[in-house]
Amino acid sequence: NITCDSLGKAWALRTDNFINYTKLENISITYSNVAGIHSIQPPFRHLTNLRVLSLAHNMVRGFGKTLLGLTKLEELDLSYNLIGALLNKSMETLTSLHTLNLDHNRLSQLNKEAFQGLVSLQTLILSNNPLVSLDQDLFLPLTTIENNLFANVNIQTIPSGLLTHLTALRNLDLSNNSLSTLGDDSFDGTSLDNLDLSSNQLTSVPTAAMKRCNKQPTQLSLAHNQISSLSNSDIKDLTIETLDLSHNQISQIPRDLFQNVQITNIYLNGNPINTIEDNTFDGLQLSSLDLSNTRLVSLPSSTETWLKNTSAKVNLNNTDWQCDCKTLWLAELLTTHTNIVSPTCGVSTKYSGRLLSTAVNQIRTDCITTTTQSS
């Protein structure tokens, strides 16, 4: 094993750096101002036993074909460098490689043969590169890929057929991009466990695309998008376990939203929701429902029966709740149902800043007094 970091001036790796260490299996040279990998005197040509190579946090601009021959290499970390391009077939002999990390580089485009030969690759990290577009055949060689991360790469569309053949793919991170729409065939052929589409510019739930997956994702994140409305038809055919719609622009929950819905965890926190219609939760089978940090000030009394009988975790942690006789029923319920997170009384109430659950006795007393005085 060789570990090296925090060297001073910029330098390049060459053959004589490792000429006497032919049995090396692990090399980590990070934060070391490595500015290049010598192409005429390739430093790794004799390291046929190398399994792990990390050159993260350096100034490497490219590696040409200097890695060819490392047939036992399993992990390659080139993150946080200045790599602007990958030569075609520059890794075609890395047949044992299962993890390739190119996070935080300067890759603006990738030719379709960039990953040729990576027949064992399981994890590919391309996040935080200025990739504007992706060739539809880019991932053709990666038949064993399980984890594909390309967050914050500025892509606006997913090319038709890009993911179709990735039958082993389980985790796909497309967060922090510029996706505004998704084609119905965007995820054809996939059987994902986790799909992260958060922090894009989507205006609707990609229901049609989800229905065409071989297996719908177990978890789907659409957080921090621009979705302003939500209907039953958007989610009723989804077999997803967890749907994260937090921090969108949804303002209303229609009465039939949850009818025949199979989703077990729904996150709607951080939306400007101000209205939930009567009987919205009737028959709903959930494990968790997050309505925190919305504009809700109360719940219709028709939700009392559902809240009494559900074992789901319901988060109502809002800060401007209406705390009065009309919400006394909820305050009473909170004292016996620890699965419900209490909201906080709003500034316009006499209980301002207090949790509804802790103000229950005073609210009850005030309501009795008011009723007595009225009679």
pLDDT at 64 exceeding the cut of 60? yes
Which residues, in sequence order, are CB contacts of 212 under 8 Å at separation 6+?
A: 184, 185, 187, 188
The reported pLDDT for the residue numbered 3 is 60
Kindly state the helix (H) or strand (E) to which residue 5 belongs, with its residue range: strand 2-5
The reported pLDDT for the residue numbered 6 is 58
pLDDT at 251 exceeding the cut of 60? yes
**Up-side HSE of residue 56: CA atoms within 13 Å toward CB?**
15
The mean pLDDT value for 141-148 works out to 97
The reported pLDDT for the residue numbered 133 is 81
Q: What percent of the chain clears pLDDT 70, i.e. is strictly above it?
A: 97
What domains appear along the chain, each with residue ranges and CATH number?
1-154 (3.80.10.10)
Q: Minimal CA–CA distance to 103: which of 78, 75, 135, 71? A: 78
Please give the Cα distance from 114 to 100 (Å, whole number): 12
Strand-pair partners of 52: 26, 75
Q: How confident is the model at residue 20 (pLDDT cuts 50, 70, 90)?
A: confident
The mean pLDDT value for 317-329 works out to 95
Please give the Cα distance from 95 to 123 (Å, whole number): 14
Tokens of 262: 């199979």
Q: How confident is the model at residue 371 (pLDDT cuts 50, 70, 90)?
A: low
DSSP 54-123: E--SS-----TTTTTT-TT--EEE--SS------TTTTTT-TT--EEE--SS------TTTTTT-TT--E
Please give the Cα distance from 310 to 306 (Å, whole number): 6
Placement of tokens 């001036």 in the chain: 9
Q: Rounded to two decimals, what is the model's pTM?
A: 0.94
Please give the Cα distance from 358 to 162 (Å, whole number): 54
Tokens of 289: 């429902």
Placement of tokens 């490219």 in the chain: 62
- Give me the long-range contacts of 271-278 (CB less than 8 A, separation at least 24): 271/245, 271/246, 271/247, 275/251, 276/300, 276/303, 277/252, 277/253, 278/302
